[in-house]
């Protein structure tokens, strides 16, 4: 099936010429004549080079369930560097952003949990790669393009290299080298250690916050505290604030959030409760929670609520521990009962956790024989993608160059300005 393509708008931002694209693609690529869905993408190019035959760089956002970045200013950081040599495509992966949305509202419209679960299973990396290949052929013809995969975008990249390497000229990965043969249990068995270390480092930097968190937790155990959207605010939701601790400015953001936790009456301030609701409510990106463990499902292995099961190996994460340890990129059954934006997905996510007939996402043999140049930065202290698994993958990935650094956290591609992307580009062109 050839995707229907429409260029909706062409306009300018300071230093960037923008064209918006909408593509109609099969919902299920194994049934190309069946139902369809729309995928949105935003093309960026230097206005002075807009008529030049530049190579394309497809940006694969982290997640799962993350929409592409929205340029806010004149081209800077990694975008500025990319536009020096490339035409950039910011893809809203299926279900996100301006692609056909999959939200709490749309999830509520499904007739059954099984129907919704089967639908959600079509939003993993294999479907995203199939979408990308249809789009590439529409925009580039027979010419391959390059990719930049941030975090989960690196997972998608390895799926791309496994099943459609002919579409790729070079790949750049920032903090996203998964273990193609690993399980969700393998990941959480390592990331709980890293979250504990990040929490301890946070308390060492801000020792006053130990008592603040202690006081908040005590209040939440004693009272039925509600967030502005009506959700219950329990200790689990408090611990979930630790999701930010793996980003470069995450500890500072968490500290300043806690700094204004209490109002003059001794209760939790309106501002604090509002920010907790916004940062842990997943209203904008429910698929981040919904597909987190499903992203690891392959063959006959059911994920079976991996984060919840593996947590039992770590008694120091008990909800009554003192000091209280935060959690990270982990999702638990209670979240889909207590968080409003996730509640419509609850029964379907239970079915996804039980599923044991997942299609494969990676071809280890093909990855070993890979000929497409790959440059990857691995962050030594990464809280989300364990360095141990990334290095294992790097050693078994053909034509790969790997740069290991502790200069940045997981958000190095943006936090470094243009430094990370510049080095990755140099690595694939033989200069680095």
State the catalytic residues. 151, 357, 410
**Residue entry with tokens 């479907």:** 127
Q: How many CA atoms lie within 13 A of 249 on its CB side?
A: 6
Element (H, E) at 154: helix 152-163
Q: How far apart are CA 190 and CA 40, in angstroms?
A: 35
Cβ contact 216:238 at 8 Å: yes
Strand partners, 402: 376
Pairing of strands 36-45, 16-26: antiparallel
Distances (CA, A) of 284 to 173, 219, 266: 25, 28, 31
418 Cβ neighbours under 8 A, 6+ residues apart: 76, 77, 78, 80, 81
φ and ψ of 94, to 5 deg = -45, 135
Cβ contact 157:58 at 8 Å: no
Max CA distance (Å), the chain? 66
For the chain, the 3-state helix, strand and coil shares in percent, each to the nearest 5, are 45, 20, 40
Distances (CA, A) of 319 to 49, 234, 240: 56, 10, 12
Element (H, E) at 169: strand 168-174
293 Cβ neighbours under 8 A, 6+ residues apart: 184, 303, 305, 306, 307, 331, 352, 353
The packing angle between helices 270-280 and 250-259, to 10°, is 150
Q: How far apart are CA 328 and CA 196, in angstroms?
A: 9
Q: How far apart are CA 305 and CA 352, in angstroms?
A: 9
In 27-86, DSSP assigns E strands to 36-45, 56-60
């Amino acid at each position: 099936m050839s995707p229907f393509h429409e260029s909706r708008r062409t306009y300018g931002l300071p230093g960037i010429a923008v064209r918006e694209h909408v593509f109609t693609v099969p919902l299920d690529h194994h049934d190309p004549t069946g139902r369809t869905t729309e995928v949105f993408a935003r093309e960026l190019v230097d206005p002075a080079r807009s008529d030049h035959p530049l190579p394309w760089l497809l940006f694969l956002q982290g997640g799962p369930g993350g929409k592409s970045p929205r340029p806010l200013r004149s081209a800077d950081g990694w975008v500025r560097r990319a536009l020096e040599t490339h035409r950039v495509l910011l893809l809203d992966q299926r279900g996100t952003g301006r692609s056909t949305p999959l939200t709490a509202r749309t999830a509520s419209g499904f007739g059954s949990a099984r129907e919704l679960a089967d639908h959600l299973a079509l939003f993993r990396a294999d479907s995203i790669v199939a979408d990308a290949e249809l789009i590439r052929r529409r925009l580039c013809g027979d010419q391959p393009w390059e990719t930049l995969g941030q975090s989960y975008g690196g997972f998608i990249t390895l799926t791309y290299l496994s099943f459609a390497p002919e579409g790729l000229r070079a790949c750049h990965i920032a903090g996203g080298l998964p273990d193609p043969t690993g399980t969700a249990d393998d990941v959480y068995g390592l990331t709980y250690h890293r979250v504990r270390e990040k929490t301890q480092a946070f308390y060492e930097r801000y020792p006053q916050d130990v008592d603040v968190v202690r006081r908040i937790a005590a209040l939440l155990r004693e009272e039925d505290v509600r967030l502005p959207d009506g959700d219950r605010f329990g200790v689990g939701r408090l611990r979930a604030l630790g999701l930010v601790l793996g980003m470069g400015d995450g500890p500072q953001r968490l500290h300043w959030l806690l700094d204004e936790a209490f109002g003059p009456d001794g209760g939790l301030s309106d501002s604090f409760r509002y920010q907790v609701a916004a940062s842990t409510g997943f209203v904008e990106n429910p698929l981040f929670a919904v597909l987190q463990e499903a992203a690891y499902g392959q063959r006959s292995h059911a994920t079976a609520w991996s984060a919840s099961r593996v947590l039992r190996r770590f008694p120091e994460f008990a909800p009554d521990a003192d000091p209280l340890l935060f959690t990270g990129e982990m999702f638990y059954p209670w979240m889909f009962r207590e968080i409003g934006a996730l509640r419509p997905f609850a029964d379907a996510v239970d079915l996804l956790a039980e599923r044991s007939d997942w299609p494969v996402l990676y071809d280890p043999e093909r990855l070993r024989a890979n000929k497409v140049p790959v440059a990857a930065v691995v962050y030594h202290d990464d809280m989300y993608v364990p360095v141990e698994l990334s290095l294992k993958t790097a050693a078994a990935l053909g034509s790969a160059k790997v740069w290991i650094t502790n200069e940045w956290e997981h958000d190095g591609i943006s936090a470094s300005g243009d430094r990370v992307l510049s080095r990755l580009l140099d690595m694939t062109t033989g200069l680095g």
